[in-house]
Chain A
């Protein structure tokens, strides 16, 4: 064993470049694998991950306090693995100073002394837990400091329920949605709680709603009938999570798969090349008396040293890189507070070294079986030429000889060429897909931003102690049109209608002014923009959810006001103020509408200072509340950042694969290179020859990879749109033109050239005398 270690150590020292390349490839591949796996894990099981971390409740049960005592509830434990409660639960109505649209209707306030426990360990992500009278903690998805400060939550300092004003001292997140708000038990007792909450984690099967219901029946057995008021199985929240986080999976999942494929290919190429190029050394070892098994052990040890080092460093980099990306991404959805899962760490630390060993084992065993003489001669004996016809054809062309020789090189080692080509192909697919993805998302974001206008304005609401504008909507429009910088204005007023044949009500935005010209008309996916009374346009999400299509006739009714309209078009999104569940309709006066029911969106002239414009609006009428509406959506920056980082990482790994191939080619062809230099090949011609050999692969990889990248783009964007229940206009997919496609081919060439340049330059500097006389 000592001899094996000594020989392996010597081999590592002697082959510093190769050891470095293996280590670097292991490092980058491990980082890629860790980020990819963390990504796949995060996008496929975000709910499960956070549910496990919070020890979420399989069932959130509310019991009637009048029918069942706390003692009865704590005693009922059949089939229960863990429980939390009993907690007093009051359902109260928010009073007039409603904090905002995100918190409406009845509020479930639960009395809990602490956020932790055996079940439903809350993430108190802002402020602190409620510990005294008059304090409350509200439930909301976490937001980081800056987002919190800029968002509407930071403005909420108190809520008034049941005549009691409670000071908001913190914000917490329950993946089980166990409450809307929490206060101390004593505080909730003052809110006249009618229910008692119990949170259960069950042993046994909880895989379906029915199974959870059966487990729950075990708990309620023996309790008074009808004492269980309501029970929410965790699947309700899981399904909701799948709708939100699921949008990311089609975007980011392919990168994970591509990352894994590239890692496997590159490791295979680098390691098998390292062993094959060491055949001569293997022969020497055997002639010294090393057994085949010892030879295999030497080579496995030799590649393990850089592989393990690279894997450890790569795992650290991958985790360090993945954590903030995933945390930032999924925190907004409520699923980002846990780190990279342990199995990803393990896969990073063991997976790539394991893959390296497996890849090395095949050629190492082959080398072990060779006789000493065969192994020694494998590196130096004249080879039967390969790719001969190609070389012959190329030698007769008018191309410079260094170029034609380079073009023929890939044919000499078809297996190595195939692996290199595959990694280049995947690199090009990744870059093409990432480019298409980013382009489409940016177009979606641009459409949204354009349609949203630069500035949104609503008159103040006296209920929120805001100054109310005394102007009519016509006067407000005139005022805004008169302000310097105003280019376009759209005005809307919203009214809720019952839709005949549908159970839930529908909002209708009556619009006038420049709404169509501000981008909504350009967002049309089907049909046309409305042009006459009685015509409406629906956002795609609404049309999909309600099964509406162009040409449908809808009957809308409210308080005796009945109208029949025809759906003439479907657009990508609705007005920013109303969301994607409101119909566009031509303007009409809405009786009883208050000033704050009107929404104005303004597009300013290019170069206008938005802050200055908003100041001018406030100065012109203190009763108007303007805000900056020019920001994009949340998904675009996250996905484009991920796409860019992963595309760069995978392109770098692909370039390393090329670097390794050229380094091996140079090693194999040292004698040929020396000879070529001896008969007058200049250093530049040497570089040209070697770079051409890979650039040719880059061109082929580019040409072959682009269709796959385009196909992935064409497949994934509609899939993501389906997850978000929207349809995208064709213009979103039309991000390609001949120039960008040519750039993608060039990208394959660039990866190949960058990878080849370093070893080609070192080949150009080979000392001919040493090469030719070292036979």
Chain B
């Protein structure tokens, strides 16, 4: 792990009408760290993820990821930034039903302008690495939950992101599939992938994260270093 800061939030505040979802949050995530954010529903952890992913803008404060101020970027620049520097996985996978597993993954590279052949070759490498090569031609409806999430992880890794964001990555999976995804995240972190995981699942946080950030009422209530289980 290096000391390079990948994510820096300074005094970030996000208001929805009268309600402040984030209230002056400041946070640093260094390259190679795996940070888990936990807290009760409505505490602001998903809003935090949205800020870091550039999916939403802060009402005030600064959001810097990979050295770039996301809060100052246009929608188009944000999209390009996400494309090249961020990978995201979601609780409900968010795969396109009309595309095969392989095409879902290749899509992320094709959006950057990669030719279809190059994108598919890179996708196949990831399928091999993630152990789902035999599922590449199936469509999402034919995959199990765990397989879908692996495909989603492959898609997130397609453009070699500086930061992998995971929003309740095991929330829609049974325990066995959840375990597999956890193992995958650990493996990724061990080879240097920076992770930010938002979860309710203490087990996930304690297995995958090296640092835990606890949220309450839009603020960081506690931070602690974890010894992975």
CB pair A678 B82 closer than 8 Å = yes
B:51-106 near A, CB below 8 Å = 53, 55-56, 75-76, 79-80, 82-84, 87-88, 90-92, 94-100, 103, 106
State which residues 529-552 of A face B: CB under 8 Å: none
Q: Is the CB of B116 within 8 A of A679?
A: no
Q: Quick one: closest A residue to B92, CB to CB? A: A775
**B75 contacts across to A, CB distance below 8 A:** 682-683, 764-765
> CA–CA, A412 to B99, complex, Å?
11
Report how far A676 CA is from B94 CA in the complex, Å.
9
Nearest CB on A from B151, distance (A): 12
- A383 interface residue (CB < 8 Å to B): yes
A680 touches B108 (CB 8 A): yes
B27 within 8 A of A: no
* Chain A count of residues within 8 A CB distance of the other chain: 41
Q: Smallest CB–CB gap between B166 and chain A, Å?
A: 12
Q: B112 on the interface (CB 8 Å rule)?
A: yes
A682 with B116: CB separation less than 8 A = no
Chain B residue numbers with a CB within 8 Å of A680 are 79-80, 82-84, 108, 111-112, 159
Shortest Cβ gap from B59 to chain A (Å): 14
Query: Which of B76, B95, B111, B112: most chain A CB closer than 10 A?
Result: B111
B111 A685 Cβ-Cβ under 8 A: yes
B14 shortest CB reach to chain A, Å: 10
| Closest chain B residue, CB of each to CB of A678 | B88
Contact status A684-B112, CB under 8 Å: no
B1 CB within 8 Å of chain A = no
- Nearest B residue (CB) for A400: B113
Stretch at the interface among A119-127, A388-396, A481-489, A742-750: A388-396
Q: Judge whether B140 is part of the interface by a CB distance below 8 angstroms.
A: yes
CA distance A768 to B88 in the complex (A): 12
| B50 partner, pick from A408, A769, A775, beta carbons under 8 A | A769
The answer to whether residues A683 and B76 also contact, given A386-B98, A395-B103 and a CB cut-off of 8 A, is yes
Q: Are B139 and A388 in contact (CB under 8 A)?
A: yes
Contact A672 B96 (CB under 8 A): yes
Give A390's nearest chain B residue, CB to CB. Answer: B98
Cβ–Cβ < 8 Å partners of A383 in chain B? 97, 141
Asked whether A681 lies within 8 Å of B111 as measured between CB atoms, the reply is yes
Q: Please give the distance in Å from A138's CB to the nearest CB on chain B.
A: 73
Contacts of B110 in A (CB 8 A): 395, 401
- Contacts A395-B116, A398-B116 given; does A387 touch B82 at CB 8 Å: no
User: Are A679's CB and B55's CB within 8 A?
Assistant: no
Contact: A772 with B111, CB < 8 Å? no
Contact (Cβ within 8 A) B103 A392: yes
Is A772 touching B55 in the complex (CB atoms < 8 A)? Answer: yes
Distance, CA A680 to CA B106, complexed state (A): 13
Given A401-B107, A681-B79, are A775 and B91 neighbors across the interface (CB < 8 Å)? yes
Distance (Å) between the CB of B58 and the closest chain A CB? 12
Chain B residues positioned under 8 Å from A401 (CB to CB): 107, 110-111
Whole-angstrom distance from the CB of A586 to the nearest CB of chain B?
Answer: 76
Q: How far is the CB of B128 from chain A (nearest CB, A)?
A: 20
- The residue of chain B having its C-beta at the shortest distance from the C-beta of A397 within the complex is B116
A14 at the interface (CB under 8 A from B): no
Chain A 705-734 near chain B by CB (<8 Å), digits 1 or 0: 000000000000000000000000000000
- In the complex, the answer to whether A772 meets B79 with C-beta atoms within 8 Å is no
Instruction: Tell me if A2 counts as interface (CB < 8 A to partner B).
Output: no
Residues in chain B near residue A385, CB distance under 8 A = 96-99, 139-141
Does the CB pair B116–A683 fall under 8 Å? no
Which A residue's beta carbon lies closest to that of B98?
A: A385
Closest Cβ neighbor of B113 among chain A residues? A400
Interface residues of A in 584-640 (CB under 8 A from B): none
Question: How many angstroms from the CA of A475 to the CA of B113 in the assembled complex?
Answer: 82
Does B189 count as interface, using CB distance less than 8 angstroms? no
A402 touches B111 (CB 8 A): yes
Residues of B within 8 A of A679 (CB): 82-83, 87-88, 107-108, 111, 155-156
The residues of B that contact A768 with a CB separation of less than 8 Å are 50, 55-56
- Contact yes or no, A392 B100, CB < 8 A: yes
Chain B residue at minimal CB-CB distance from A401: B110
Q: Which of B46, B53, B95, B103 has the most CB of A within 10 A?
A: B103
Interface residues in A747-775 by Cβ distance below 8 A to B read 764-765, 767-769, 772-773, 775
Q: Does A738 sit within 8 A of B, measured CB to CB?
A: no
Contact assessment for A396 and B100 in the assembled complex, using a CB-CB cutoff below 8 Å: no
Q: Is the C-beta of A369 less than 8 angstroms from some C-beta in chain B?
A: no
Complex: A391 Cα to B110 Cα, angstroms: 14
For B115, list chain A residues within 8 Å (CB). Answer: 398
A336, B108: Cα distance in complex, Å: 65
Assess whether B100 is in contact with A678, with CB atoms less than 8 Å apart: no
Question: For A167, what are the chain B residues with a Cβ–Cβ distance below 8 Å?
Answer: none
Nearest B residue to A764, CB-CB: B75
Cβ-defined contact, A677 with B46, below 8 A: no
Contact of A682 among B79, B141, B156, B159 (CB under 8 A): B79
- A382 interfacial contact with B, CB 8 Å: yes
**How many whole Å from A118's CB to the nearest CB in chain B?**
72
B81: nearest chain-A partner, CB-CB: A680
A495 CB within 8 Å of chain B: no
Alpha-carbon distance A384/B95, docked complex (angstroms): 12
Q: How far is B97's CA from A672's CA once the two chains are assembled, in angstroms? A: 9
Contact A674 B94 (CB under 8 A): yes
Tell me which residues across on chain A come within 8 A of B46, comparing CB atoms: 769, 773
In the bound complex, how far is the Cα of B159 from the Cα of A405, in angstroms? Answer: 19
Q: Does A671 contact B (CB under 8 A)?
A: yes
The answer to the question of A350 belonging to the interface, with a C-beta cut-off of 8 Å to chain B, is: no
**A678 and B97 in contact, given A383-B141, A398-B116 (Cβ under 8 angstroms):** no
Residues 45-102 of A contacting B (Cβ, < 8 Å): none
Q: Tell whether A317 is near chain B: CB-to-CB under 8 Å.
A: no
Contact partners of B103 in chain A: CB under 8 A: 391-392, 395
Closest Cβ of chain A to B125, distance in Å, is 18
What residues on B are CB-neighbors of A678 within 8 Å?
53, 55, 82, 88, 94
Task: Flag whether A370 is at the interface (Cβ < 8 A).
Answer: no
Q: How far is the CA of A412 from the CA of B106 in the complex (A)?
A: 20
A391 touches B116 (CB 8 A): no
How far is A388 from B142 in the complex, measured between Cα atoms in Å? 13
Give min CB distance, B123 to chain A, whole Å: 11
**Quick check: is A700 within 8 A (CB to CB) of the other chain?**
no
Which residues of A sit under 8 angstroms from B53, Cβ to Cβ? 678
- Per-residue CB contact flags for chain A residues 649-689 toward chain B (1 = under 8 Å, else 0) read 00000000000000000000001101111111111110000
Interface centre among B95, B106, B116 (most CB of A within 10 A): B116
List of A residues within 8 angstroms of B100 by Cβ:
388, 392
B79 to chain A: closest residue by CB: A682
**A556–B156 Cα gap in the complex (Å)?**
95
Nearest CB of B to A517, in Å: 63
Chain B residue with the shortest CB-CB distance to A682: B79
Q: Are B99 and A391 in contact (CB under 8 A)?
A: yes
CB-based contact B98/A412 at 8 Å: yes
A515 to B195, CA, bound (A): 91
Interface centre among A395, A676, A677, A679 (most CB of B within 10 A): A679
Chain A positions within 8 Å of B156 at CB level? 679
**Closest residue of A by beta carbon distance from B156:** A679
Contact status B80-A682, CB under 8 Å: yes
Report the bound CA distance from A675 to B106 in whole Å: 14
B141 near A767 with CB under 8 A, answer no
Residue among B46, B94, B115 with max Cβ neighbours from chain A (10 Å):
B94
* Nearest CB in chain B: distance from A406 CB, A: 12
Q: Which residue of A lies closest to B116 (CB)?
A: A396
Give the nearest-CB partner of A380 in chain B: B92
Contact with A along B38-58 (1 / 0, CB 8 A): 000000001100100101100
7 more A-B contacts (CB under 8 A) besides A384-B141, A672-B96, A679-B87? A383-B97, A392-B103, A678-B53, A678-B88, A679-B111, A680-B82, A685-B79
The 27 listed contacts between A and B (C-beta, < 8 Å) are A385-B99, A387-B98, A395-B106, A396-B117, A397-B116, A398-B115, A401-B107, A401-B110, A408-B98, A672-B94, A672-B96, A675-B96, A676-B96, A676-B107, A678-B88, A679-B83, A679-B156, A681-B111, A682-B80, A683-B75, A685-B111, A772-B55, A772-B90, A772-B167, A773-B46, A773-B167, A775-B92
